[in-house]
Amino acid sequence: MNPVVNPVDVGPTRVHPAARESDSVLARIRASDALQELALSALTSCWTDTHLPADLLPQLLQEALLEPDSEAAATAIAERLSGPAAPAQFRARYERARSRKFGAFARLLDPWLGRGTVVDLGAGGTDLLDALATDATLIAVDIELSDPRPGSRAALLTQIRPDRIPLADDSADTIIATGVLHHIDADVRRRLLADTARVLGPGGRLLLLEETFPDPIGATAGLDGGPPMAEYLDGDPVDLSAADTLFRALDLADRMTFLSFTDWWGNRVMKGSLAIPLPYSFLTSEQWRHELAAAKLVVTDTQNLGLCSGGGHMASPRMLFVCSSE
Ligand SMILES: C[S@@+](CC[C@H](N)C(=O)[O-])C[C@H]1O[C@@H](n2cnc3c(N)ncnc32)[C@H](O)[C@@H]1O
């Protein structure tokens, strides 16, 4: 099954439960000049990387805001980006940016990997595992997996329960989770983290790569002095200073609305996935630490990565949490 479907092919039966929440995110943006200005500024800065014509983004944003049904809006925009009138080579450039992202993630994570078994939780597919240099046993786990890349040496495991990894106690040496946990409701997320500790057993390692809200969106250097993600991506650094100024001027509720919008845009519109849950739960780095500690996962190292410049959706800076299972 391929969850990263072309939204044009998705019938009305697949309307996602989070759609109503996304409807209200779009409605709040429609009602606020400040949010519209920020959305346009951030989209323009981020997506020039994939060579969308500059005049297209304002049109697409207006289209999204005119349509009260967010799933219909996402489908219509995705059609413009993937259909016969799509900007030349956009999809190929987008996919190249995604593969650059996985290469960058792999370079970041490889030094933390040992031998044994490495599980990518919420993997989506096998792209990240296939980019790793390690010769460990590789397993991709997700509630909805896409087809493996041809020649992949990773095993695929479908997770039936959102809070239960289908692996035995103490059976993985490392679990990786990149951009997964902020897509999961708090109670399920906490149980899934506890289950992660179960599968790791004492001394196992969790490598959590997550967004950290509400750190400024335009960070050019990591909070811990680390480099911004753009360097990992080999891409042109994204200049989000204008968006950052607009973001800082917003109150907390509007900031959250903006981040929710970027999550919707990145996953529903650009990736074309209706399968990824969007509960819009963004946590600060302190809140992540708190949740990890509650699951007996001790943070031993962190690396702040700043913003992702290509392929992904832009939001708050990302942080790598290296955790040891007690
Ligand atoms: C934004 S994607 C990230 C995919 C990939 N890790 C990456 O970095 O591109 C979030 C993924 O989490 C998966 N997911 C959502 N809830 C999950 C859960 N409870 N357990 C495992 N995976 C889950 C989704 O199916 C989706 O593939």
Looking up residue 148, the CATH number of its domain turns out to be 3.40.50.150
Calculate mean pLDDT across residues 162-174: 97
Our answer on whether the CB atom of 124 is closer than 6 Å to any ligand 1 atom is: yes
Q: Residue 9's pLDDT is what? A: 29
Of residues 36 and 11, the one with the higher pLDDT is 36
Q: Are residues 192 and 247 in the same domain?
A: no
Q: Token match 């040992």: residue?
A: 114
Looking at the domain assignment, is residue 2 inside a domain?
A: no
pLDDT (tens digit per residue) in 26-58: 999 999 999 999 999 888 877 665 667 778 888
Q: Are residues 155 and 264 in the same domain?
A: no
pTM of the model: 0.84
Q: Residue 19's pLDDT is what? A: 65
Q: Is residue 246 predicted with pLDDT exceeding 90?
A: no
Calculate mean pLDDT across residues 98-115: 87
In one letter, which amino acid is 225?
G
Q: Residue 167's pLDDT is what? A: 98
Average pLDDT of every residue of the chain? 81
Query: Residue 264 has what DSSP assignment?
Result: H
Q: Are residues 88 and 186 in the same domain?
A: no
pLDDT (tens digit per residue) in 270-323: 877 777 777 677 788 888 999 999 999 999 998 877 655 443 445 556 789 999
Q: Is residue 214 predicted with pLDDT exceeding 80?
A: no
Q: Are residues 109 and 244 in the same domain?
A: no
Residue among 143, 160, 192, 232 whose CB has most ligand 1 atoms within 8 A, to mutate:
143
The rounded Å distance from CA 267 to ligand 1 centre is 11
Q: Are residues 22 and 39 in the same domain?
A: yes
Distance CA 48, CA 27 (A): 26
Calculate mean pLDDT across residues 217-231: 45
Q: Are residues 315 and 166 in the same domain?
A: yes
Q: Residue 222's pLDDT is what? A: 43
Calculate mean pLDDT across residues 146-173: 94
Count: domains in the chain: 2
- Tell me which of 270, 292, 312 is where a domain ends: 270
Our answer on whether the CB atom of 183 is closer than 6 Å to any ligand 1 atom is: yes
Looking at the domain assignment, is residue 227 inside a domain?
A: no
Q: Are residues 206 and 160 in the same domain?
A: yes
Q: Are residues 163 and 203 in the same domain?
A: yes
**ω into residue 214 within 30 of 0, thus cis?**
yes
Looking at the domain assignment, is residue 247 inside a domain?
A: yes
Residue bearing the CA closest to ligand 1, atom 27: 124
Q: Residue 22's pLDDT is what? A: 87
Q: Residue 216's pLDDT is what? A: 53
Q: In whole angstroms, how large is the CA radius of gyration of the chain?
A: 19
Q: Are residues 209 and 288 in the same domain?
A: yes
pLDDT (tens digit per residue) in 109-155: 999 998 899 999 999 999 999 999 999 999 999 998 888 788 999 99
Q: Residue 163's pLDDT is what? A: 96
Task: Give the pLDDT band of residue 263 (cuts 50, 70, 90).
Answer: confident
Q: Hey, is 267 helix, strand or coil?
A: helix
CA-wise closest residue to 42 among 313, 302, 304? 313
Our answer on whether the CB atom of 266 is closer than 6 Å to any ligand 1 atom is: no
The rounded Å distance from CA 122 to ligand 1 centre is 4
Looking at the domain assignment, is residue 221 inside a domain?
A: no
Q: Is residue 24 predicted with pLDDT exceeding 70?
A: yes
The rounded Å distance from CA 147 to ligand 1 centre is 14
Residue among 5, 141, 142 whose CB has most ligand 1 atoms within 8 A, to mutate:
142
Q: Residue 127's pLDDT is what? A: 93
How wide is the angle at C-alpha 270 spanned by C-alphas 231 and 82, nearest 5°? 120
Looking at the domain assignment, is residue 152 inside a domain?
A: yes
Looking at the domain assignment, is residue 166 inside a domain?
A: yes
Looking at the domain assignment, is residue 233 inside a domain?
A: no
The rounded Å distance from CA 163 to ligand 1 centre is 12
Q: Residue 93's pLDDT is what? A: 76
Query: Residue 89 has what DSSP assignment?
Result: T
Share of the chain above pLDDT 70, in %: 80
CA-wise closest residue to 81 among 97, 65, 57, 103? 57
Phi and psi for 56 in degrees, rounded to 5?
-75, -35
Q: Are residues 75 and 22 in the same domain?
A: yes
Task: Give the pLDDT band of residue 95 (cuts 50, 70, 90).
Answer: confident
CA-wise closest residue to 103 among 196, 282, 259, 234? 234
The rounded Å distance from CA 271 to ligand 1 centre is 13
Q: Are residues 146 and 198 in the same domain?
A: yes
The rounded Å distance from CA 308 to ligand 1 centre is 17
Looking at the domain assignment, is residue 231 inside a domain?
A: no
Q: Are residues 195 and 285 in the same domain?
A: yes
Annotate 176-240 with DSSP letters as a single string: EEES-GGGS-HHHHHHHHHHHHHHH-TT-EEEEEEE-TTS-TT-SS-TTSPPPHHHHTTSPPP--
- Tell me which of 225, 250, 270 is where a domain ends: 270
Residue 180 is encoded by which pair of tokens?
């997964």
Question: Which of these ranges, 7-11, 257-261, 309-313, has the smallest mean pLDDT?
Answer: 7-11
Residue 205 is encoded by which pair of tokens?
């390692």
Range of the domain at 52: 15-93+239-270
